[in-house]
Amino acid sequence: MGNSHLYDLFNISLEAGKEIMDVYAQDFYVEFKEDDSPLTQADRRAHALIMRRLNELDCTIPVLSEEGRQIPYSERRTWTRFWLVDPVDGTKEFIKKNGEFTVNIAFIEGNYPTIGIIYAPALDVIYFGRNGDAAYKLEHASKATVLNEEELIRKSTKLPNLKEHSAIRVVASRSHMSQETEAFIKDLEAKHGAIEVVSSGSSLKFCLVAEGKADYYPRYAPTMEWDTGAGQAIVEAAGGTVTHYEDDERFDYNRADLLNGWFLVKGSSA
């Protein structure tokens, strides 16, 4: 990927955020998909914008989006690179209007994410990272004057932004807390003493680990590939890891089944 794409993704994420916040400010209708997951006009509008803008960026790169058409593995298996998109990650948080929802865009090369960008439009904070480079956070993102990638990086804070803390911190979902996650926390308590549980919604859990505000994010509950690709890219760029629960191998993508297995996210200091 050329250097300019990170700046392009920054702008695409901000534009999608505007579409989302326009719906967020109104009374909106919630419908439900076949799997009973919620869907709003914000999901549709953000998806349409992102698809259009990524196609303008490079029409030869396919896009796998939560709100796009179901692409069979017989077609996907030939992909060597693709965009992985969740237009609104945390639709339940969006509906609750607690601000903890995000735009997720990842670039997958081979079977692993190499670029990730996560924008939380209600919080106006953006996280981004690139494999072999570094991860960053920019607050008040929509108000920043950023004309190119160099300015984007210069005005952002490099991650992790580590500060002294006594307790091991575990980030867990507000909406999903499995028995296995509770057992993981109890095991850490037995080894380290006091454990601080940090709650957050959507892919912001990955961002907290990348930032250094949490040491672990155990996800022992279902997710989909588009829920995790961007977050993994950012965590890995910040020096952390995302591994399969069953074998501790690096989390991979574009599998025949897009339903993720369990995984564990570790920060750089864990």
What's the confidence (pLDDT) of residue 146? 95
Per DSSP (E only), the strands in 154-224 are 157-159, 168-173, 195-200, 216-219, 223-224
Place of tokens 């996280």: 127
Q: What's the pLDDT tens digit per position in 97-114?
A: 999 999 999 999 999 999
Q: Is 236 left (phi over 0), alpha (psi -120 to 50) or beta?
A: alpha
CB-based burial of residue 87 (10 Å sphere; 0-12 exposed, 13-18 middle, 19+ buried)? buried
DSSP state of 250: B
Contacts of 141 (CB under 8 A, 6+ apart): 10, 14, 119, 124, 125, 126
162 backbone dihedrals φ, ψ, rounded to 5°: -75, 140
- In DSSP terms, 223 is beta-bridged to 260
pLDDT class of 245 with cuts at 50, 70, 90: very high
pLDDT in tens, 160-205: 987 777 789 999 765 566 788 888 988 998 988 888 989 888 899 9
pLDDT at position 2 is: 43
pLDDT at 181: 85
Instruction: For 149, list phi and psi in degrees, rounded to 5.
Output: -65, -40
Residue of 230, 229, 214, 201 whose CA lies nearest to 101: 201
Per-residue pLDDT tens digits for 30-64: 998 888 888 999 999 999 999 999 999 999 999 99
**Quick check: 243 and 250 in contact, CB under 8 A?**
yes
DSSP state of 138: E
Residues facing residue 199 across a β-bridge: 172
Name the CA radius of gyration of the chain, rounded.
18
Residue 84: pLDDT band (50, 70, 90) is: very high
In the sheet with 81-89, reading across from the earlier edge strand, the strands are: 63-65, 81-89, 102-109, 112-120, 125-130, 135-139, 157-159
